[in-house]
Amino acid sequence: MLAFHNMADALACPVRNKNRVHWCVARLQFGETPFDILNDFLNNLNNINKDYLDGLPKWSGTFKQKGLVEYIFLITQELKLDPSVGYHAIELLQRFMVKHVADTLAKIPIQSVAINKAKSYGELIFDNLKDKFPLILFSCVQLANKLFLHCHMIDASTAVQFLYSFGLSVSKQTLLESELMVFKGVEYRLDVINSLTYVEVILEVLGHNEPSMPVEHLYQLCHNVLQYVTLNQTTIYESLLRSVSQCVSPSREQRENFVTVTEDRMLLGVCVIAVATYILCFKKWRQVVDELSHITGITRRNIANFAQVVIEHILETSSSAV
């Protein structure tokens, strides 16, 4: 029998700084959306996810390392922003950096790179960007926050003061210029769909199809599971790749093909709900996995394999914390 309380403890506060900080989880009103609208929304999310996976650019997922994600989460927590802002900022950062790297590489003469063999393409790019990077992260949070009208806005004075408390001395003009740079870098498109949205919509449909499911309680736990997976996605997806490939050292081709799995938000959404169900109400685990498969078209085996990897990592975390 698994130690469910230890698993819950391991998920309770995955982000830490000098003071222990917790998410302030917003409460959704489940069951109020007409099912036909909800079904259309789910189909739309599914189409967006498929289109995204079909056109994945190079370096997708590269800029979602734990340190960057944790930095974004801490900013949103310190400023008491909605959790959705953090997940949206992660997607904006990814989109901006992929475009920035592609544009920068296009401008670097091949001869200059060949002459200076000590530096790779990546080193050249990051050397040029490293001083601006903390401000870029903050600008992604600012842009994401402006999309959520129910959240309180962070004005320029508050932003400058906040950055100063973290050791960054910038002017309001510099702050604005950074925000505009990111805005242009994402080609003026802020309408990305973040992973939390997938969890919320799938959970809403699950609650409609299975009224006995305590979706409100699951939702609270899903926040913790999603945050845990997002922070530890490098190690979690590495374990999943080794599991599905049955190879200790997957080849470069296998890793490149696996990017579609690491970027699949629909798969991530069902996995988060499956893990939360496993922890909260294990007796309904198989029933929920079957229903999630029915809702999304993702096979039960794929959902179960992914969920198992996440659960094993949570257990390792809880064991090491004892």
Of 102 and 90, more confident: 90
Q: Which of 68, 73, 71, 82 is closest to 145 using CA atoms?
A: 82
DSSP string for residues in 175-214: HHHHHHHHHHHTTT---PPPHHHHHHHHHHHHHHH-TTS-
Q: What is the mean pLDDT of the chain?
A: 84
Q: Sign (positive/negative) of CA torsion 9, 13, 17, 21?
A: negative
Alpha carbon 151 to chain centroid, angstroms: 20
CA 11 to each of CA 7, 16, 189, 221, 254: distance values in angstroms, whole numbers, following the listed order? 6, 12, 33, 8, 30
Angle at 26 between CA 91 and CA 317, to 5 degrees: 65
pLDDT at 241 over 60: yes
Q: Please, are residues 205 and 38 in contact by the beta-carbon 8 Å criterion?
A: yes
Average pLDDT over residues 188-197: 90
Tens of pLDDT, residues 65-79? 898 899 999 999 999
- Name the H helices within 62-194: 66-78, 83-107, 110-115, 121-129, 133-145, 156-165, 172-185
> Model confidence at 106, in pLDDT bands (50, 70, 90)?
confident
Tens of pLDDT, residues 80-100? 998 999 999 999 999 998 888
pLDDT of residue 175: 93
Q: Sign (positive/negative) of CA torsion 104, 90, 251, 293?
A: negative
Rounded to 5 degrees, what are φ and ψ at 20? -75, 120
Residues 6 or more apart whose Cβ sits within 8 Å of residue 121: 105, 108, 113
Token pair for 298: 């993702």
CA 271 to each of CA 8, 126, 320: distance values in angstroms, whole numbers, following the listed order? 16, 33, 23
* AA letter at 61: G
Across-strand partners of 104?
none
Tens of pLDDT, residues 3-40? 344 444 555 444 444 333 333 344 456 767 788 888 89
Place of tokens 């991530």: 268
Across-strand partners of 20?
16
pLDDT of residue 63: 81
Q: Please, are residues 226 and 196 in contact by the beta-carbon 8 Å criterion?
A: yes
Token pair for 32: 């109020």
Average pLDDT over residues 108-123: 54
Token pair for 65: 């390392």
